[in-house]
């Protein structure tokens, strides 16, 4: 990355991180680090709010960009014991007011209508995403492996975006099924995606992305990190934003290497 001092700080973003002690089982904290660094390199100040049982409704209202990582079924149940009432309402309001968000794996399952875990009761979701998820049970194979998918940029409001594909790693037992009206985040080229059947990967609702890709997703696919940062600044400052271009040679070489190793042509 650039070895010159970042430009003077002009903008600031508050990033909300959903239950980091319960939902970072698959290294998804790397997405927070990526967002922080790609802001810092551009002179954008960041503040991280760890969302947990002590977080107030007011605290949630200050969030400009929301992130939730992956979790095991038990932790998802614990999170949903807290994510209800005024806290649930505040999260829904953020999304409905176009706050950009990234939810990975266990997190989007909770943002959907419901998640039926491998064992135990159905977990009612926040109903933000028009989808539901079901784990076929402890004996079922988990959907695990390196992944490549073509981003549905049209659904992200950028039909002409030049970067076509993303790479990642998935590890989930739950299968997700989009409602007919829902917009997928991407189309699977290699891997399972939402359910290993319909080649959809993730979901988009307003500026919220649900995605099954760990990796972590953002360091492997900086275009998605920049889309989130740009959207967050535009929504917060109510103006068009052009982000300074960063030197992503290393990230792009790493992405090309995994695509080639998987024998995929994109």
Report, as residue numbers or ranges, the catalytic residues: 105, 214
Q: Name the segment binding ligand GLN (CB under 6 A); options: 87-95, 124-132, 158-166, 167-175.
A: 167-175
Nearest CB to ligand GLN, comparing residues 170 and 251: 170
Q: In which residue are the tokens 């992130």 written?
A: 67
Backbone angles phi, psi at 103, to 5 degrees: -120, 125
CA distance 138 to 257: 34
Under rule CB under 6 A, residue 106 binds ligand GLN: yes
| Beta carbons of 112 and 176 less than 8 angstroms apart | yes
Nearest CB to ligand GLN, comparing residues 28 and 226: 28
CA distance 202 to 153: 13
Torsion of CA 206, 172, 193, 158, to 10 degrees: 30
Torsion of CA 59, 60, 66, 71, to 10 degrees: 100
Name residues contacting ligand GLN, limited to 172-191 (CB under 6 A).
Answer: 172-174
Q: Which two tokens stand for residue 128?
A: 């933000």
CB of 170 to ligand GLN, least distance (A): 8
Question: Which 8-state DSSP code applies to residue 138?
Answer: T
Collect all residues with Cβ–Cβ distance below 8 Å to 243 and sequence separation of at least 6: 42, 226, 229, 230, 233
Among positions 44, 99, 105, 232, the unique one binding ligand GLN when judged by CB under 6 A? 105
CB of 173 to ligand GLN, least distance (A): 4
Under rule CB under 6 A, residue 146 binds ligand GLN: no
CB of 240 to ligand GLN, least distance (A): 35
| Beta carbons of 44 and 229 less than 8 angstroms apart | yes
Query: Which string of x and - marks every residue 57-76 that binds ligand GLN (by CB under 6 A)?
Result: -------------xxxx--x
Under rule CB under 6 A, residue 30 binds ligand GLN: no
Nearest CB to ligand GLN, comparing residues 72 and 98: 72
Interacting residues toward ligand GLN by CB under 6 A: 26, 70-73, 76, 105-106, 135, 171-174
């Amino acid at each position: 990355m650039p070895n010159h001092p970042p430009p003077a700080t002009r903008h600031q973003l508050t990033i909300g991180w959903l239950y980091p002690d319960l939902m970072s089982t698959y290294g998804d904290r790397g997405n927070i680090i990526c967002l922080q660094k790609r802001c810092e390199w551009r002179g954008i100040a960041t503040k991280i709010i760890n969302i947990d049982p002590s977080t107030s409704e007011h605290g949630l209202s200050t969030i400009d960009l929301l992130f939730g990582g992956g979790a095991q079924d038990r932790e998802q149940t614990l999170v949903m014991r807290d994510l209800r009432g005024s806290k649930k309402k505040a999260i829904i309001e953020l999304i409905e007011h176009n706050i950009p968000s990234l939810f990975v794996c266990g997190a989007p399952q909770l943002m959907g209508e419901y998640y039926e875990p491998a064992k135990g009761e159905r977990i009612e979701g926040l109903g933000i995403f028009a989808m539901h998820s079901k784990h076929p049970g402890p004996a079922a194979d988990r959907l695990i492996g390196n992944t490549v998918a073509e981003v549905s940029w049209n659904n992200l409001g950028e039909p002409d975006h030049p970067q076509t594909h993303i790479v990642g790693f998935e590890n989930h037992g739950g299968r997700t099924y989009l409602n007919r009206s829902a917009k997928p985040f991407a189309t699977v080229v290699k891997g399972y995606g939402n359910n290993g059947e319909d080649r959809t990967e993730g979901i988009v609702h307003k500026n919220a992305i649900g995605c099954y890709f760990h990796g972590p997703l953002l360091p492997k696919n900086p275009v998605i990190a920049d889309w989130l940062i740009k959207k967050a600044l535009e929504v917060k400052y109510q103006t068009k934003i052009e982000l300074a271009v960063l030197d992503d040679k290393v990230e792009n070489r790493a992405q090309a290497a995994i695509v080639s190793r998987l024998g995929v042509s994109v």
